[in-house]
Amino acid sequence: MKTIPVVLMGCGGVGRQLLHHIVSSRSLHASLGVHLRVVGVCDSKSSIFVSDVLSMEFDDKFLLELCQLKSNGSSLLTLSTTSGVEYQVLINSDSATKLIDIAALLGKSMGLALVDCSASSETIGVMKQVVDLGCCVVMANKKPLTSTMEDYDKLVSHPRRIRHESTVGAGLPVIASLNRILSSGDSVHRVVGSLSGTLGYVMSEVEDGKPLSQVVKAAKSLGYTEPDPRDDLSGMDVARKALILARLLGRRINLDSIKIESLYPEVMGSNVMSVEDFLDNGLLLLDKDIQERVNKASLNGNVLRYVCVIEGSRCEVGIQEVPKDSPLGRLRGSDNVLEIYSRCYSAQPLVIQGAGAGNDTTAAGVLADILDIQDLFPEK
């Protein structure tokens, strides 16, 4: 049996779903000879660790109680359980030091999987040190990999110990597929894709003639958007995904090197207009332009999609016309699709398509990444 100690950073929707997946998959993992031993969980304000990371773990009852607490919007500092688990709670100023101590203790012996399901850039420093201490890092958080090239180089300096499939396409095998192509010596010369479930939904709905304002409000009510839809409409999330792919392909560029098309002007930014004002008034002003672009594309036999394009020195994200009968043109709803063109996939690209959003799908991708590094952990 291989035992993998796990520390989870980020206990939002994806983090909680990951803990649920770990609990519900116990029998499956046992049949595979793997046991995930959760020894620590961190949220934005505090961290909680078992009192002895060498031998103890949070039991499943405790993990489910913790998830319920966090789903109610409470902090780990308020945790009160009768499960009998011995643990210590630390405020964030002490959490980083504790994490490094744990990594130093476990890294050279039984190993540690540090899992980042947060949306914070503050995890970068800890993860760089953890990698140096011989531990593994699994990420759904895009920010560490889209930081400076110096940070990026440090994180990927031990490629066997890092997994980040869920940073780009939730549970889709985007990173794994690109790595397989590159390791075979095949050269990738073009990548184009729709990598936002939110913007994929928006563009396919306006294609049907619905006003952008109506579609965005519907997407928000369905839970497809962030609380402030401008976080999606800005294109920044897609740009981060494009940067991760571009760097994987060897481009040494930063976020400010990417041309990003926002679906709203700066005068409607969050520093100028409230969320309510944007939804009630700002969005209506965007309807006409988008509809005109939809009609123009239709006359050309095309449809509009919000895509990322990586080709040569070009790396950009924005609205483009694509043929109706192409994989991108046939895309509907919140699915993601990526087309990879290489020497071997020249006339017909490799196409990866499927659900590209959602806590469940993303957490499943993270869990698969954790299991993918099991060979780095000793058998007990």
Annotated catalytic sites, by residue? 241
Task: Give the residue ranges of DSSP H helices in 108-146.
Answer: 124-132
3-state secondary structure of 136: strand
In 3-state terms, the chain is what percent helix, strand and coil (to 5)?
45, 20, 35
Query: Any binding-site annotation on 193?
Result: no
Query: Any binding-site annotation on 250?
Result: no
Query: Any binding-site annotation on 344?
Result: no
DSSP letter (8 states) at residue 280? I
Query: Any binding-site annotation on 315?
Result: no
Identify the sign of the CA torsion 247, 252, 255, 261.
negative
308's tokens: 């990322």
Residues 6 or more apart whose Cβ sits within 8 Å of residue 1: 30, 33, 34, 35, 379, 380
- Tell how far CA 319 is from the center of its chain: 22
Query: Any binding-site annotation on 191?
Result: no
Query: Any binding-site annotation on 226?
Result: yes
Q: How many CB atoms lie within 10 A of CB 82?
A: 8
3-state secondary structure of 305: strand
CA distance 202 to 212: 7
Spatial contact of 139 and 164, defined as CB atoms under 8 Å apart: yes
CA distance 13 to 19: 10
Spatial contact of 34 and 148, defined as CB atoms under 8 Å apart: no
Query: Any binding-site annotation on 10?
Result: yes
Residue stretches of the annotated binding site for NADPH: 142
Residue stretches of the annotated binding site for L-homoserine: 226
Residue stretches of the annotated binding site for NADP(+): 10-15
Residue stretches of the annotated binding site: 10-15, 142, 226
